[in-house]
Amino acid sequence: MPHILHLDSSPRGSRSTSRALTKEFVSDWIQVHPQDTVTYRDIGKYPVPPVDESWIAAAFNKANTLPTELTGALTISDELIAELLQADRYVFGVPMYNFSIPANFKAYIDQVVRIHRTFNAAWEGLLTNKKMLIVTSRGDSYGEGSALASYDFQEPYLRTVFGFIGITDITVFHAENLNEGKDSRQQAIAQVRHAMQQLIVSW
C-alpha cells in the first residue's frame, strides 16, 4: 500500500499558496487512490531545530553505543528519517525565500541528510525507488530563459540535495509571478493545478 509523506514549510497559514496547492494535490490523490495512506508534517508551524554540536558528535560517533551525554541528540533526526524511509512518495510545499528555501526547511534537510542513514560512506543515496513532488511559490519568474533565472538557488539545490540521498524522480511545479498582480497570480495557480491533475493520472 503506497504511503505519502506530505510536508509544508511555509510559516503562513491560510494565506500560503504552497500550502493550498499541496493540500489540494494530496486530497485529490486520495480520492483517486483511497487505499494510499498519508503522514503529514508541518514544519512551518512546528519547525525542527537546527543541528548543533551534540547532533554532529552523535551522528559521526563510531561507537556501537552513544555516550550518555549524547543520548537523545538524534531523536528528532531519527523520527524525520523514519518518515522518509516509510514513504513511497513525497509531496513537499516549499516557498522561495531570498532566491532559495526557508530556513526551517534547510534545518529539516540538515536533520535528514545523515551518513549511514540516508547516504553511505561512498556518498551513495539510500532512499531509492521514491518519487517526490515539490510545489514552490515565487513572487517573480525564475524559469529558464527569464531575466532572473540565474537567481534561482531553490530548485537546483533541492534537486541536488534530495538526489544526493537517492531521490532522483523529482517533479517540481512552480507557482510563479505571485507578486505581479491578481491576473498573473490566478493564471500561475491555475497552471499548477492543471499540472497537478495531469500528474495524478501518471505519477
Residue among 73, 45, 78 nearest 61 (CA): 73
Residue 12: pLDDT over 90: yes
| Tens digit of each residue's pLDDT (9 = 90 or more) over 189-202 | 999 999 999 999 99
125 pairs with which residues across the strands?
119
For position 194, what pLDDT does the model report?
97
pLDDT at 98 over 90: yes
159-192 tens-digit pLDDT: 999 999 999 999 999 999 999 888 999 999 999 9
pLDDT value of position 180: 87
| Predicted local confidence at residue 149, as pLDDT | 96
- The reported pLDDT for the residue numbered 63 is 85
Residue 198: the pLDDT is 97
The three grid cell numbers given for residue 125, joined into one nine-digit string: 543515496
- For residue 164, the enclosing domain spans 3-202
Does residue 54 have a pLDDT over 90? Answer: yes
For residues 118 and 83, the answer to whether their CB atoms sit within 8 Å is no
| Structural domain count, the chain | 1
Question: How far apart are the C-alpha atoms of 27 and 107, rounded to whole Å?
Answer: 27
Mean pLDDT for the chain overall = 96
Residue 190, domain CATH: 3.40.50.360
Taking the CA atoms of residue 195, residue 201, residue 202 and residue 203 in that order, the dihedral angle to the nearest 10 degrees is: 80
Sign of CA dihedral 54, 94, 8, 198: negative
pLDDT of residue 117: 97
CA 138 to chain CA centroid, Å, is 15
Residue 6 cell numbers, joined: 506530505
pLDDT of residue 51: 97
Per-residue model confidence (pLDDT) at position 65:
87
